[in-house]
């Protein structure tokens, strides 16, 4: 019975968290923002276009967390894609500024309870793992003070004109009038030219 109660609570927690995240994404869509696509070359995007990473471990966030953190960067105008927990900030000599509001991310995994391992040993059956979902609150490095310089400093954007050489060659040999710049890609049939975004403005998720 105890295992069932724990499992039921876990299911309720997952359902609640899923609903919370789903509502957040729906809200972004209703506001005219697609949370998994960063705006191209607009003032709304101050951060370098890259996958969000943990500032202390360097590990990139994955899954739904990428959408959550990209949305927070765009909504709040953060200048970097690095995040860390309250304790992580303290562990490296910094701190989250008072009054700052964090962003909830999730961690999903499975574990095998000790009683389930015991049952499996006694019956010879495979132990059944229980999925779990934990939530953490993270803060952008912009919300912190006292961080080491190598963490607090936002990496500069790559210099302009860094389109891949192979792409440049294709454009040059095509004979098509390609114009680079602006905040969208399109072809103008009336003037017979194509407009392509600056390479810095294209999200790496769609390369």
- The secondary structure of the chain, three-state, reads CHHHHHHHHHHHHHHHHHHHHHHHHHHHHHCCCCCCCCCCCCCCCCCCCCCCEECCCCCECCCHHHHHHHHHHHHHCCCCCEEEEHHHHHHCCCEECCCCCCEEEEEEEEECCHHHHHHHHHHCCCCCCEEEEEEEEEEEHHHEECCCHHHHCCCCCCCCCCCCHHHHHHHHHHCCCEEECCCCCEEECCCCEEEECCHHHCCHHHC
pLDDT confidence bin for 116, thresholds 50/70/90? confident
Residues making up the chain, counted from first to last: 207
**Is residue 82 predicted with pLDDT exceeding 90?**
yes
Domain boundaries, the chain: 2-152, 165-206
- Looking at residue 156, what is its pLDDT? 53
Mean pLDDT of 24-48: 62
C-alpha–C-alpha distance, residues 102 and 86, integer Å:
9
- Looking at residue 159, what is its pLDDT? 56
Q: What percent of the chain is modeled with pLDDT above 70?
A: 58
- Looking at residue 203, what is its pLDDT? 45
Mean pLDDT of 27-43: 60
- Looking at residue 29, what is its pLDDT? 72
pLDDT confidence bin for 150, thresholds 50/70/90? confident
User: What is the average pLDDT score of the chain?
Assistant: 75
pLDDT confidence bin for 207, thresholds 50/70/90? very low
Mean pLDDT of 146-172: 66
């Amino acid at each position: 019975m105890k295992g069932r109660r724990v499992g039921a609570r876990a299911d309720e927690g997952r359902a609640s968290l899923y609903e919370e995240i789903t509502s957040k994404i729906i809200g972004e869509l209703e506001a005219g923002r697609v949370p998994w696509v960063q705006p191209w070359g607009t003032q709304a995007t101050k951060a370098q276009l890259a996958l969000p990473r943990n500032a202390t471990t360097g590990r990139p966030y994955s899954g739904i967390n990428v959408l959550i953190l990209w949305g927070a960067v765009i909504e709040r105008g953060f200048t970097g894609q690095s995040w860390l927990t309250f304790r992580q900030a303290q562990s490296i000599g910094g701190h989250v500024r008072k009054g700052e509001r964090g962003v909830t991310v999730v961690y999903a995994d499975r574990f095998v309870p000790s009683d389930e391992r015991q049952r499996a040993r006694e019956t010879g059956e495979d132990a059944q793992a229980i999925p779990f979902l934990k939530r953490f609150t993270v803060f952008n490095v912009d919300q912190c003070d006292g961080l080491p310089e190598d963490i607090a400093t936002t990496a500069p954007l790559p210099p302009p004109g860094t389109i891949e050489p192979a792409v440049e060659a294709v454009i040059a040999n095509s004979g098509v009038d390609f114009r680079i710049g602006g905040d969208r890609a399109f072809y103008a049939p009336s003037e017979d030219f194509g407009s392509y975004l600056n390479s810095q403005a294209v999200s790496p998720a769609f390369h």
